[in-house]
Amino acid sequence: MTPTPRTNTSDDSPTLYMALDLGGSKWVLASSTGGQRVRRKTVAAGDVDALCVEIAQAKKKLNLPEDARVLSCHEAGRQGFSLHRWLEAQGIESLVVDSTSIKVDQRKRRVKTDRIDAQALLDELVRHERDGDQLRFCRVPPAEAEDLRRLVRERERLQQEKTGHTNRIRSLCATKGVSVKPGAKGLRGLQDAIAGGQVTVDYSDSVLPPQLTRELLREFERLELVVAQLQTLKEELRALVDEPRSDEAKKAAARIKQLQQLKGVGDKAAPVLVLELFGWREFDNRKQVGAIAGLTGTPYASDGSSREQGISKAGNRRVRAVMNQLAWLWLRYQPQSKQAQWFEQRYASGSSRIRRTGIVALSRQLLVAFWRYLESGVPPHGAALSMS
């Protein structure tokens, strides 16, 4: 999320400024021409027809022509970008605001209502339009690019569910002194033994209690469903890379294949980097690349105090997590690369804490190197390409 420059090209052009506070049951609309007079109305959540009526009424009440420019904004939230796209389709300039850039009262107890929030957002929008750099806005992905990234996000969630079911099964068995061999084979063997009534508990010849047996079998059923869905997603991702059908999919597939040419970058990391980031976003410099993953530093320097607070973690957490994993793999599979050599010289002889700190720095360097590789086609210096 980055600052967006002013969109108003003429201070004299009549403009209706509009801020929406989106709730689950109602939307609060605050609108003005940039002066002291503010019109506030409430419509039912999702009632875009009523929203159109209120926009027309706002122009009339505020003495604006029917064809006056409308500049709207609302906070990024669970509604996604559907309202933004609808507003754009109606010819309304829409901005999706990063909520962390909105100034708030720092007192412990402060008045907060939907009307006050809408008014505060409207004031910030007017100041941003006149002065610039007051708010930060989300980059809205194309609709198809947003849909494609559901593949890696669902895979992440299913992987977490798989881990949860596996840990639950092992924990239930541990309560009765039943050890489970590591890996999928150990779980399959345990499932067969439970189904056949061959599991003994309490370090004796006692059989597994009936309620615990049924609970474990149900856990296994849920685990099998998650594993089957993970396999389906794996096949869909493979089809996306091998047989893309649309222009957006073809662009993503080409970049995924390009990243996979680097030794150490596999079919799990490359789709995340491309579908979440490199498939549709454009960057001007390496600072923007590091910032989008939250891998930039946050120095604190005030008066005589100066220290580093760590990385910001304000960007895409999925990209950040994948890059931390890739950084360790890079040291293993790309030891002759410039980035790996830099890490070895600076961090390899340090403690485990120092090496973990270095891995974060290496993650940022690699992310920038991947961006340059995708843009120019030149691999990172010293990096080996996969033979497959």
Tell whether 235 and 281 lie within a shared domain. Answer: no
Tell whether 332 and 264 lie within a shared domain. Answer: yes
In a domain, 116, yes or no: yes
Q: Residue 188 is part of a domain; what is its CATH number?
A: 1.20.58
Listed residue (76, 101, 93) closest to 8, CA to CA: 93
In a domain, 27, yes or no: yes
Tell whether 159 and 225 lie within a shared domain. Answer: yes
pLDDT per residue over 84-123, tens digit each?
999 999 999 999 999 888 888 778 778 889 999 999 999 9
HEC readout, 25-49: CEEEEEEECCCCCEEEEEEECCCHH
Q: Is-contact 243 113, C-beta < 8 A?
A: no
Tell whether 27 and 117 lie within a shared domain. Answer: yes
Residues of the chain with pLDDT under 50: 3-10
In a domain, 383, yes or no: no
Tell whether 350 and 306 lie within a shared domain. Answer: yes
C-alpha 201/C-alpha 139 separation (Å) is 56
Strands (DSSP E) along the chain, which ranges?
2-3, 15-22, 26-32, 38-44, 69-75, 93-97, 136-137, 200-201, 206-207, 297-302, 305-311
Tell whether 263 and 196 lie within a shared domain. Answer: no
Listed residue (143, 136, 139, 65) closest to 316, CA to CA: 139
Query: Considering 87, 107, 140, which residue would you say is the last residue of a domain?
Result: 140
C-alpha 29/C-alpha 51 separation (Å) is 8
In a domain, 386, yes or no: no
Question: What is residue 5's predicted lDDT score, i.e. its pLDDT?
Answer: 46
Put residue 382 in one of left, alpha, beta given phi > 0 → left and psi -120 to 50 → alpha: left
Tell whether 12 and 123 lie within a shared domain. Answer: yes
Tell whether 113 and 164 lie within a shared domain. Answer: no
Q: Is-contact 22 75, C-beta < 8 A?
A: yes
Residue 32, judged by CB atoms within 10 A of its CB (0-12, 13-18, 19+), counts as buried
Dihedral angle, C-alpha 225, 226, 228, 230, nearest 10 °: 170
In a domain, 388, yes or no: no
Tell whether 214 and 299 lie within a shared domain. Answer: no
Residues 6+ apart with CB under 8 A from 138: 1, 76, 96, 97, 98
List residues bridging with 70 in a β-sheet.
16
Query: Considering 191, 223, 242, which residue would you say is the last residue of a domain?
Result: 242
Tell whether 77 and 29 lie within a shared domain. Answer: yes
Residue numbers of the domain that contains 89 = 2-140
> For the range 238-245, what are the long-range contacts, defined as Cβ-Cβ under 8 Å and sequence gap of 24 or more?
238/267, 240/148, 240/151, 240/271, 241/267, 241/271
Tell whether 256 and 238 lie within a shared domain. Answer: no
In a domain, 387, yes or no: no
In a domain, 311, yes or no: yes
For residue 113, give Cα distances in angstroms to 74, 103, 120: 15, 15, 11
Query: Considering 202, 220, 242, which residue would you say is the last residue of a domain?
Result: 242
Question: What is residue 225's predicted lDDT score, i.e. its pLDDT?
Answer: 97
Largest CA distance in the chain: 88
For residue 155 the two structure tokens come to 């895979």
Question: What is residue 101's predicted lDDT score, i.e. its pLDDT?
Answer: 85
Tell whether 270 and 350 lie within a shared domain. Answer: yes
Give the chain's domain count.
Answer: 3
Q: Residue 43 is part of a domain; what is its CATH number?
A: 3.30.420.40
Residues 6+ apart with CB under 8 A from 249: 144, 148, 240
